[in-house]
Amino acid sequence: MSTQKFATNALHAGHDTNNTQGTRAIPIYQSTSYVFNNTEHAANLFSLAELGFIYTRLNNPTNEALQNRLAALEGGVGAVVFASGTSAISTGLMTLLRAGDHIVASSSLYGGTYTLLSVTLPRLGITTTFVDASNPENFKKAVQENTRAFFVESLGNPKLDVLDLKAISKEAKAAQVPFIVDNTVASPALLNPIEHGANLVIHSLTKYINGNGTALGGAIIDAGTFDWTNGKFPEFTEPSAGYHGLVYSEALGAAAFTFKLILEGLRDFGGALSPFNAFQILQGLETLPIRIKQHSENALALAKWLEGRDEVAWVNYPGLESSKYYDLAQQYLPNGQSGLVTFGIKGGFESAKKVTDATKIFSLLANIGDSKSLIIHPASTTHQQLDDAAQEASGVTKDLIRLSVGLEDIEDLKTDLEQAFATIDTSVLVE
Ligand SMILES: *Cc1c(COP(=O)(O)O)cnc(C)c1O
């Protein structure tokens, strides 16, 4: 594993220029397939007697560079990239679980993940108990005999709850199940869940890691620390019918899950990342350390400014002293709390719609983590499919506006919000 520091790894890990004809940038290997030397070589590749490239659904040199870089940045033994963050999550869970299995998850999750767990996976026999993750004891209470994973977000989107990852990881260890942490909002530049006991880390690369709003992508980073031989995961310890009798835990040791994700997850579900997108994401990743610092600074400054505004009912940013997550944020995110800020606008649903319609620099759209500032009203958009109780549990109130604070000059961002606030009905301000 690399001993270099984060910012150096963000620029160099996973790329040996000797393997790319000296190119300083990582090339886009836009090829679906790779020529085998002969049939014996091909047979060796398929049987894993030799490692090499077969077909871009399984592996690709550009994607592999991104995988190795992400593994270095999160401190894992391996990583696999996917067509989107959602593909990473669904393929990861489908590779890990079978019908009859059960997940314990935080109720504060990205909307798409929440519906995957609450609606789609139950259709396939995989159920989830959602818990209030602010109390790690709740995970223990929800464990069943068939529980096979804990799933949380290190910094919940959009509730912005900071979790006590160490305490939850202890409960996962006691239950002998992998602790899966979606680290998208924090990014590896601010938080490394593996240091706090996570076994698998998930990213939507679409967000801060790419940072330019130009490419979808996702990843799973495997810490290599989970004991698949504990009796709960026979698919790792018995000959795999899906891969000519391979016993993953014996043949691949700490990298068992990484390989299962490639050999079965990508093979069967097909969510491969386009090498062109991998290239775009690599460009973004190079500047992640400096971008996330500025996102965090701008977000904190704007959150403080919002706290002083008459139009604003409440402000939620884990870096604010008024936040109930402030202490956990100082512990887990001491170098910045990333770029998302949520706040309640006086006048509720109607005012929230007016403000999100009126901003000029903040773009109204369903993404986060772009260098450009973004705004959304989750109750009418991203979390619209959730019923009132589920909206409440995921922290989405009717008056909530989510900002993804970009890298623009902070004074321009304040001016933009100020003119948008001027559109709301002033009678709501006297409340
Ligand atoms: C966006 C997001 C996802 C889904 O990623 P896509 O790349 O949009 O599929 C998952 N988790 C979190 C926390 C996200 O913000």
pLDDT at 27: 97
Instruction: Count CB atoms within 10 A of the CB of residue 247.
Output: 15
Closest C-alpha to ligand 1, atom 5? 85
Closest C-alpha to ligand 1, atom 1? 204
**Could you read off the pLDDT of 18-47 as tens digits, one per residue?**
999 999 999 999 999 999 999 999 999 988
Ligand 1 in reach of 157 Cβ (< 6 A) = yes
Question: Model confidence at 270, in pLDDT bands (50, 70, 90)?
Answer: very high
CATH 3.40.640.10 range(s) for the chain read: 6-284
For residue 117, report the distance from its CA to the centre of ligand 1, in Å: 14
Instruction: Report the CATH number of the 6-284 domain.
Output: 3.40.640.10
Does pLDDT of 58 surpass 60?
A: yes
**Could you read off the pLDDT of 161-197 as tens digits, one per residue?**
999 999 999 999 999 999 999 999 999 999 999 999 9
Ligand 1 in reach of 185 Cβ (< 6 A) = yes
**Could you read off the pLDDT of 275-331 as tens digits, one per residue?**
999 999 999 999 999 999 999 999 999 999 999 999 999 999 999 999 999 999 999
**Index of the ligand 1 atom closest to the CA of residue 153:** 13
Letter for the amino acid at 284?
Answer: G
Q: How far is CA 2 from CA 5, 65, 206, 412, in A?
A: 8, 14, 25, 40
Structure tokens at 125: 């026999």
Structure tokens at 332: 């887990």
Question: Model confidence at 1, in pLDDT bands (50, 70, 90)?
Answer: low
Angstrom distance (rounded) from CA 380 to CA 71: 37
pLDDT at 431: 57
**Index of the ligand 1 atom closest to the CA of residue 207:** 1
Question: Model confidence at 395, in pLDDT bands (50, 70, 90)?
Answer: confident
pLDDT at 421: 97
Question: Model confidence at 144, in pLDDT bands (50, 70, 90)?
Answer: very high
Ligand 1 in reach of 110 Cβ (< 6 A) = yes
For residue 86, report the distance from its CA to the centre of ligand 1, in Å: 6
Question: Model confidence at 394, in pLDDT bands (50, 70, 90)?
Answer: confident
Q: How far is CA 75 from CA 121, 195, 222, in A?
A: 30, 8, 9
Span 224-229, average pLDDT: 98
Instruction: Report the CATH number of the 288-429 domain.
Output: 3.90.1150.10
Does pLDDT of 382 surpass 90?
A: no
CATH 3.90.1150.10 range(s) for the chain read: 288-429
**Index of the ligand 1 atom closest to the CA of residue 109:** 13
pLDDT at 34: 97
**Could you read off the pLDDT of 104-143 as tens digits, one per residue?**
999 999 989 999 999 999 999 999 999 999 999 999 999 9
pTM tops 0.95, yes or no: yes
Ligand 1 in reach of 356 Cβ (< 6 A) = no
Residue 147 host element (H or E): strand 147-153
Span 229-254, average pLDDT: 94
Best residue among 82, 206, 220 to mutate for probing ligand 1's pocket (most ligand atoms within 8 Å of CB) is 206
**Index of the ligand 1 atom closest to the CA of residue 218:** 7
Residue 401 host element (H or E): strand 400-404
Best residue among 91, 161, 207, 277 to mutate for probing ligand 1's pocket (most ligand atoms within 8 Å of CB) is 207
Ligand 1 in reach of 206 Cβ (< 6 A) = yes
Question: Model confidence at 387, in pLDDT bands (50, 70, 90)?
Answer: confident
